Structure 1
Amino acid sequence: MQGSVFETIYVLFLMVYCCFLLLVSTYTILVWKEAYAMVDVLTTRLHDAYTNWTFRPADNDNESRLTLSGLRRIGGLQKRNKIAEKELNKQVKEKYLYQVKENPPPPAAPLKPRPFMGLSCKNCTPSSRNLLVNRARENSNIKNILRVDALKANNFLTRKFCHIVQAYRLKKYDFPQVSDTVLHDERLREALQMATTKDLQDMDKADDETYQKQLKKNENRAKTILYDMRSTLSDFLLRLTSWVMYKVLPCFLSSVVAHPGQVEMLKKAAESGVPLIFLPLHRSHLDYILISFILLNNDIRSPLVAAGDNLRIPLFGFLLRGLGAFYIKRRIDPVLGRKDIVYRAVLHTYMMEALRAGHNIEFFIEGGRTRTGKPCMPKGGILSVIVDAYMDGTIEDALLVPVSINYERLVDGNFVREQLGQPKQMESLGSALKAIWSVLNSNYGMMRIDFNQPFSIKELIKTFHIPSRSPTPEEKEIVSNGTVPPLFKKPKLVSQPSTASLYGTDVVEEKHRKLVDSIARHVIYDCTQATAIMSTNAVAFLLLNRFRDGCTMDQLVVALDKLRAEVDWAGRDLGFSGDSLDVVNHALDVLGPALVRRDKTQNTILPVCMLPNVIELAYYSNGMMSFYVVDAIIATALFTLLPDVTCSSQLSEDDIIERSKELCDLLKYEFIINKPCQTIESVIADGIDNLKNKEILTQKEILYTEDEKWSQRVAKTFDDDDSSSGDDAAPPKINEPNLQFNSNTTTLQHLCFLRGLIRPLIEAYYITGTVLHKLVDRNVTEKELVLDIMEEIKKELHLGSLSYSESLSVDPVRNCLKLLQHWQVLESHTQDKIRMYYLSEHYDDNESLKPILIKLCRFKTPLNNNK
């Protein structure tokens, strides 16, 4: 019986194979037949054109015509000319070869070294900064991961099937399953007992039988959660996927590049024996697949990847699970508002046991993909588990690896629908297949990944937990340079913990939350600074902010040259090279005609600034925002301080810093301006120095009298006296104008350009403030409030009171609502999974809202105030 079944299967397989060969043969015959028919048509048309062609000379002599014999004579002349040209080229070539033999070749121009991005912070992790980096590899050129070096192979089969050989030779790792260990963990047992006790309190029962029944129910639920969550990382599936990726990725990506020095750094870190915690910025669903692909093909253990449970769809969910994904819920609290103790305990214990078993971990510290092209504020939930694992001794140490990722064109498509207020479309098998088919038939350019220098979480926590003491003379020098240890001087702009963390205050104490938040913000800042600027980022940025009304190709090339020089001077890396004209043409092709219009007849380029296209173009432009954001904030502050920007005026540097700090506080949920180990004042002061270098601001020399100089010397003597009490208030400073604003056409153009960078955000915040009056004496759902604000922005855009269409975006509106909650203007609560907003008691009338509106619209200066 069994033999007959195998025979039947074998016959069916042969039939399917024969049908496949028949289809392929038929298709090939039809294609060649059509090709031959096309060749016949072309041949006939060329022969007709050759026989009927006549030449009319320039003097319009109608009697002078070239006949067929004349054409033959011209053909013979052209043939003789080609022979003569060939002889001349041969003589030149022989002469050149003689010169090469007699004279030494000229020295090759040295390659410009690339900046080595992603070094760890020298203030927070000085020991880690001196480890793992091979200084000889810092200036190495980037490498395309998709290229397999098969030319060195000795045999034909190895060269022909290089990708299969590459997948076969990969280093094999054991990936232990920890599910059974999790179910028997003592901490999980205690959490289940705690959850059972609370359930009995809600049911108002206390008998032992009910307790055991509820405990069994929670145990079964914990087991179900664990098996839905767990990863089934498979070495075979990793190898198979590696081979598939080598075949599929070149279909839509021109290259996937990384720095060899950074990969070598990761290899050394993997040999240290401590877990690697990869913390990438999240832009695409392709991120975690590519990271695992690169690590696998460089013999680095593939990590377990925290993925949202929305990706647990048929087929793809199984494949991702086998590639290392473990699924977590986006929102893990139930409808009644109680904390889901069972789910939290299972997730916490699973990650703890995975770390103890030697697994590497990868999770996206932003929580989800960025919808705007700017990094999102960090979510500290999973990071708090890593910190807790170190604090309680589960692991001796862990190396945090920030990862910066950027694409020339976003593979997942755009987020325009979501930014216009429409709900997110949930992933499904059909949508996934449709998206894959669309991707395979498109060009997405290049993808760049930068692995930052791994740093020890043990060292970082020790740095953040230095006991309070007076700074030493060496540390005072560090303070004077603007970088201070966080315990010596607390930044005035205190960062707020994430409100959407997986863990609440009932899991970790406030001190622990602040520590985790500081680490998370540091990682986001490091990733942002190390992210390479792609060609589409640079071109979209210039078109949207410098040439919004269009420009010629020459103007765009000149502007790109200047931009490249500024980025190079600042030590940032570019994800492209070559002539700027070629870079612009490539970027325009990748962006496509939906975002950029090209008029080849008039040689002009025009960005599409109408909705909804401009929102997608702004996504690529925002990749440059981290480079200019400080200058943009200072420029906007200058417009509010200067009564007339067309006239040269005197300003106080302290006034500029204070006004810039107000704007930083306004945009605290949009950008991470400074690292936790930096003061915001020092960052703004550096930005002012940058404007001084550009001669927009000039340092005014202040002449002091002899008595004033003597007073300053006496005051300095008292300041340096260590015996003086540190609690005494410092004498007030005299706020004198010490800067000269130099007004000219170039200055105004540059300041208007900088102000325009954050103008869409300011407009969105202003309109959000004007809608607050609708909340007086009423509660509104989050969806209804956001839609009201979006409708108001549309109305103002139609009336012309707003200048930037990209102001119509959901993300800035939501961030403004967070800010208003931080200012205690708004309050919210969740009811039946719906968030409700309402004004706090002190602001629940129109009169009390006026100061808030004034504060929000302070930086919305008229665009024509420079005229």
Structure 2
Amino acid sequence: MRNNCVYADPKGMIADAVQNKRVQRAIHRSAMNDSDGAKNEETYQRSAHKHEGRALYVIKRMSATIMNITLRITGYLILRILSFLVDGIHMHRGQAEMVRQAAKRDVPIILVPLHRSHLDYLLMSLTLFINEVPCPFIAAGDNLNIPVLGWWFRQIGAFFIKRKLDKVVGKKDFVYRAALHTYMEQILMRNQNMEFFIGAIADAYILPASVSYEKIIEGNFVGETMVRNLGYDVKILAGGYSKKKESIFSPIIGLWNAFHSSFGHIRVNFAQPFSLKEYLESAQRVVPIQSELSMKPRLEKAISDNSLYGTDVVLEDQRQLIRGLGEHIILDSQDASSIMSTNLLSFLLLTKHRRGTTMKQLQTDFDIVKEEVTSRRRDVGFSGETSDVIKHAMNILGPKLVKSEMRPVNPDVIPSVGGERGQLMNQRDIVVPNTSLPNVFELSYYANTVVSVFVMESVVANAVVSLVGDRLVTIGDTPKKSILISKSKVMQKAEELCDMLQFEFTFTRPCENLLAIISDALEDLVVAEVLVNPKNSNNPSADSEWARRIAKSSFWDEDTGGEEEENSFNSYQTKVELEVAATPEALERLQYFQRMLGPLIEGYWLSSCNLVRLLDDNMSEAEFSSITNSYAKERIFKGLATYGLHYKCLCCNFVYNILRIPYVSLILLYTAESCAMDTLRNSWKVFAHWEVISYYYKEDKTKMVQLQEGYRTEDQLSAFIDKIEAFKT
């Protein structure tokens, strides 16, 4: 490794950052606040001097110092260590050449990878270093700024950022925000690459990237991210492990444990880089679509609390533009990522074979899903005989997640002459997933990579099932009786579900139309013969043409043609009907797509049911989240979350007793994943966005949650719960 790239002088960047006008204004503003409007000049000067010293300290503490010698040593060590842990690190040659060409254009590259592991930082830098591309300055959490390792991380490009930008809730730290913004700007102004995003430069190439693992090296990292809670030990909440404070011994212990495991293959992928300047010049504000479920703009997400600026200084147009850029990057990175063998195996076991299946059937389904993935232009990170790939994936996941056991299949009882108990014959090797807590969270983590491939089909399938309801149970018994549904109602329901899951998935790029995406997914289900166009229906290909015309007019043109196209489209869709296919194969495939989002929908419904606890009195956020999660776990431990068993939900009894909501005969399938804290927490974000709940702080800084006006009576809240329950099947 002979990479000798030139990196910016850290001392020069620090000096320029401190003298920057933005930082000086922040110093002045903070000093004015401390000195009560500068009524006392001496007090003001003393305060200004203090904040100027703090600005210098902050920038020095966060700054990185990239050294080629450290990069070479680190690269050698990482390659040696990984040679014992993984079977190989793979990168497409065409992608490597694409990145090299982008680096030659004298424009900084902003590398934005999907974050799956702490190893991402090292792999991205290592990949660029080997391909003679300058290593990026990496935005890292200050929890990694620990003795010895913190110094080493700085030498390979890490600059450290606080997880919470403000020390005091509700009071912005102007000096820190300005220092961070300016330091990042200085990096890009010197044509240095960076793993982050910031503006105020002439241009930069945005490079979406992704690292795909067959197995995450951190181990408990997955459990922590899936079940961690606000201020509570997650051992109590979901059988996981509390997040430990980083120390110099943590990576050493983790490395020691890793040497006794197998982690398979790693794929590093880069998407096509695009010019930030060209994006900003061409992009326009997305026109939101109204949702009847929330009666708020479609997919207009809440703002991050950790944004460099708050709502008081960022205009709505700018906020929409930044959000659109983020969604574009996420989808580009997602499309570039590889589906690994462990992803596909976990997906199949959780969606089709939770009770286990034979190796022969698993191989058949594995090949089918693999073909469906590649037909959607997604890459797979494995090759070879299917049986070998599955066995390899099972070995990587380990017996704690997937195991093989012998089970009798249609056993024959052969009595013995002495009258002893007969013997069971026809035993087969069955592959069985571990769906108990917390193991199911890790399986779900691997499976979710594949769910993103089929997410729109699953959204539409859930919309169809929510409209058909109980009729779906009897359709197989009466094949002559068809079930017709309005296409416009299916699309409306699909929109509502996208709105509800907006914090779980990114559905569209800013240049795409959600209606067009839903319409294409509907047509895919028609092609798959899950849905059927009645004999007297119009040409189905016209649907996509109408959708594409909307996409061109609604978002990118300012004239009124877009509204006319959309109104005409809605009128057309109202007249179109679809028929739910009555064949066993079609019904099985419909349920297969529906189950992909089943755990998420159940989690949101469960979360909405627990809002009844706020009818009597407001609660602290920590207490409310703890009670809700504990209740979700209780359902699982009582057997109410066993997949495939039909029960009346305990939560239905709870809602009935509190709100007197009559439950008719609920025949529901429950999954343990519904109690994941990430799912529950995202549901609260949506409820707050819909203005069902809101947060406020007490005098002691305790964060409280309350119901909003319009949802503080039993009838109002039950109506809201019913809307969520409509998607739960």
Q: Which residue of 1 aligns with 2:226?
A: 419
SS at match of 2:51: helix
In structure 2, relative to structure 1, the CA distance for the partners of 1:725 and 1:285 (3 Å cut) is closer
Aligned residue among 571, 579, 586 for 1:740: 579
CA shift for structure 1 position 805: 1.0
Provide Cα deviations, 1:247-297, integer angstroms capped at 9, x if missing partner. 111110111111110110011100000000000000111101110011011
Query: Hey, what does 1:501 align to over in structure 2?
Result: 306
Measure the CA separation in 2 of the matches of 1:855 and 1:259. Answer: 46
Distance in 2, matches of 1:314 and 1:488, equals: 48
Q: Secondary structure at the match of 2:353?
A: coil
1:320-359 Cα distance to aligned partner (Å, 9 max, x none): 1111000001111122521100000100111111111221
Extract unaligned runs of 5+ from structure 1.
1-166, 364-382, 390-394, 467-485, 705-718, 862-867
Q: Secondary structure at the match of 1:449?
A: strand
| Structure 2 counterpart of 1:825, one-letter code | V
The two structures have a TM-score, normalised by structure 1, of 0.70
Correspondence list, 1:185-224, <5 A: 185-201=20-36, 206-224=39-57
Partner Cα distance (2:529, 2:269) in 1: 35
Q: Compared with structure 1, are the counterparts of its residues 398 and 834 closer, same or farther at alpha carbon in structure 2 (3 Å cutoff)?
A: farther
Any residues of structure 2 matched to 1:747-758 within 5 Å, and which? 747-758=586-597
**CA displacement at 1:452 relative to structure 2:** 0.8
Post-superposition offset of 1:226: 1.1
Q: Which residue of 2 aligns with 1:806?
A: 673
Q: Distance in 1 between matches of 2:185 and 2:277?
A: 17
2:184 aligned residue: 351
Measured at CA, do residues 844 and 171 of structure 1 come closer, stay the same or move farther in structure 2, by a change above 3 Å? same
Matched residues in 1 for 2:560 and 2:686: separation?
40
Aligned partner of 1:85 in structure 2 is none
Choose from 830, 838, 843 the match for 2:706: 838
- In our comparison, the structure showing a higher alpha carbon Rg is 1
Distance of aligned partners of 1:730 and 1:312 in 2 relative to their CA distance in 1, 3 Å threshold = closer
Equivalent-residue separation in structure 2 for 1:701 and 1:501 (angstroms): 55
User: 1:551 is matched with which residue?
Assistant: 357
Deviations 1:518-564 (A, max 9, x none): 00011111111221100000011111111111111111111111111
Q: Does structure 2 retain, via aligned residues, the 8 Å contact 1:782–1:837? A: yes
1:180 aligns with 2:6: no
**Counterpart in 2 of 1:517?**
323
**What SS class does the counterpart of residue 404 from structure 2 fall into?**
strand
Alignment size in residue pairs: 629
Partner of 1:50 in structure 2?
A: none
Deviates more, 1:411-420 or 1:549-558: 411-420
Deviations 1:540-598 (A, max 9, x none): 11111111111111111111111111112222110101110110010000000000111
Given the superposition, is the C-alpha separation of residues 726 and 337 from structure 1 closer, same or farther in structure 2, using an over 3 Å criterion? closer
Tell me the secondary structure at the aligned position of residue 837 of structure 1.
strand
Give the Å deviation of 1:727: 7.7
**Counterpart position of 1:53:** none
Structure 1 residues 442 and 334, CA gap change in structure 2 (3 angstroms): same
The superposition leaves residues 607-664 of structure 1 with CA deviations (integer Å, 9 ceiling, x where unpaired) of 1111121111111111101111111111111112125124321222111111111111
User: Which residue, 260, 271, 276 being the options, matches 1:457?
Assistant: 276
- 1:419 alignment partner AA: M
| Distance in 1 (alpha carbons) for counterparts of 2:5 and 2:526 | 57
Query: How far does the alpha carbon of each residue in 1:195-215 deviate from its partner, in whole angstroms, 9 at most, with x for none?
Result: 1111222xx761111010000
Specify which of 287, 290, 293 is matched with residue 123 of structure 2. Answer: 290
Q: Which residue identity does 1:591 align to in structure 2?
A: L
Deviation digits for residues 13-71 of structure 1 (CA, Å, limit 9, x no counterpart): xxxxxxxxxxxxxxxxxxxxxxxxxxxxxxxxxxxxxxxxxxxxxxxxxxxxxxxxxxx
Partner of residue 401 from structure 1, selected from 182, 207, 225: 207
Q: Equivalences for 1:175-574 in 2 at 5 Å?
A: 175-177=8-10, 178-201=13-36, 206-335=39-168, 337-363=170-196, 383=197, 386-387=198-199, 389=200, 395-414=201-220, 415-420=222-227, 421=229, 422=234, 423-465=242-284, 486=286, 493-503=298-308, 504-574=310-380
- Which of these residues, 528, 532, 540, is aligned with residue 698 of structure 1? 532
Question: Which of 496, 503, 521 lines up with 1:669 in the alignment?
Answer: 503
**Aligned CA distance change for structure 1 residues 834 and 521 (closer, same or farther; 3 Å):** farther
C-alpha contact (below 8 Å) 1:536/1:620 kept by paired residues: yes
- In structure 1, how many angstroms separate the alpha carbons of the residues matched to 2:617 and 2:468? 40
SS, match of residue 602 in structure 1: strand
Equivalent residue number for residue 821 of structure 1: 688
Sort the Cα spacing of 1:226 and 1:703 in 2 relative to 1 into closer, same or farther, 3 A: closer
Instruction: Quote the residue 1:379 is aligned against.
Output: none
Q: Which residue of 2 aligns with 1:774?
A: 613
Code of the residue aligned with 1:656 in structure 2: it is: V
**2:435 matched to 1:597?**
no
- 1:444 maps to a residue whose letter is F
- Among all aligned residue pairs of Structure 1 and Structure 2, give the percentage whose two residues are the same amino acid: 34
The TM-score with structure 2 as length reference comes to 0.83
- Structure 2 residue identity aligned to 1:811: D
| Deviation for aligned residue 1:763 | 1.1
Q: Deviations over 1:416-448 (max 9, x none)?
A: 245344143221222222112112332111111
Match of 2:726 among 839, 850, 858: 858
SS state of the match for residue 842, structure 1? coil
Q: Counterpart of 2:549?
A: none
Q: Is 1:847 the counterpart of 2:685 in the alignment? A: no
- Would you say 1:655 and 2:655 are equivalent positions? no
> CA 1:688 to 1:814, structure 2 compared with 1: closer, same or farther past 3 Å?
same
Residue 373 of structure 2 aligns to which amino acid in structure 1?
V
8 Å CA contact 2:108–2:193 kept in 1: the answer is yes
- Is 2:581–2:587's contact at 8 Å kept on the other side of the alignment? no
Partner AA of 2:673 in structure 1: E
* Aligned positions of 1:154-173 closer than 5 A: 167=1, 169-173=2-6
Q: Distance in 2 between matches of 1:252 and 1:795?
A: 38
Whether the 8 Å contact between 1:828 and 1:838 is mirrored in structure 2 is: yes
C-alpha distance in structure 1 between counterparts of 2:467 and 2:189, whole Å: 57
Residues 1:190 and 1:725: Cα distance change in structure 2 (over 3 Å): closer
Counterpart for residue 394 of structure 2: 588
Cα distance, 1:304 vs. partner?
0.4
SS across alignment from 2:22? helix
Which residue of structure 2 lines up, in the alignment, with residue 628 of structure 1? 454
**3-state SS of paired residue (1:674):** coil
Shift of 1:740: 2.1
